Amino acid sequence: MYKTGIGVDAHAFSLERDRPMWLAGLLWPDEIGVEAHSDGDVAAHAICDALFAAAGLGDLGTNFGVNRPEYSHASGAQLLTEALALISGAGFAIANVSVQIIGNRPKLGSRRAEAIAALSHALGGADVSLTATTTDGLGFTGEGKGLAAVASALIYKPK
């Protein structure tokens, strides 16, 4: 039995110039990070939401919300690994996850393979697809005010 889920996440860029940027499991040292309870990795957060939706386990806030101080500044990789443990505990395995990052920066092209490897590693070696797009100047991402991501997950119950 296969199940699918969709996840979305968005964060505004921080006004703190020293806030680190974490995206797709990678540190982007020349970029300003986003405001968030955790590290603000929109790709990781959207993937977690997609996995939880597919497995019927709530959402990011249900599992790692701001009412959980232990997740303050948690890395996206940590959240992905814990999301994998939760869906595995519910009897599911990952067939594939796909995530699209929406924003003007950072440019992902030169680090795409590294990002896919980081996300896959956090998910126990799962197949990961990663794309990126801009919104041609439209909306808060197009205006350079933040980042967003949309993810889908395909999970199944192993025999």
pLDDT at 159: 84
Query: pTM higher than 0.75, yes or no?
Result: yes
Q: What is the pLDDT of residues 89-102, one digit of tens each?
A: 999 999 999 999 99
Q: How far apart are CA 93 and CA 83, in angstroms?
A: 11
- Tell the burial category of 67 from Cβ atoms under 10 Å away from its Cβ (0-12, 13-18, 19+): exposed
**What ranges do the domains of the chain cover?**
2-156
pLDDT at 112: 97
Task: Return the CATH superfamily for domain 2-156.
Answer: 2-C-methyl-D-erythritol 2,4-cyclodiphosphate synthase (3.30.1330.50)
User: Phi/psi of residue 156, each to 5°?
Assistant: -150, 160
Cα Rg, the chain, nearest whole Å: 15
Q: What is the pLDDT of residues 100-138, one digit of tens each?
A: 999 999 999 999 999 999 999 999 999 999 999 999 999
Interacting residues of 19 by C-beta distance below 8 A, sequence separation 6+? 32, 33, 34, 35
Buried b (16+ CB within 10 A) or exposed e, 72-102: eebbbbbbbbebbebbeeeebebeebbbbbb
pLDDT at 67: 80
Nearest to 114, CA basis, from 10, 5, 9, 25: 25
Q: What is the DSSP letter of 38?
A: S
**Mean pLDDT score of the chain:** 95
pLDDT at 71: 78
**Whether the Cβ atoms of residue 81 and residue 38 lie closer than 8 Å to each other:** no
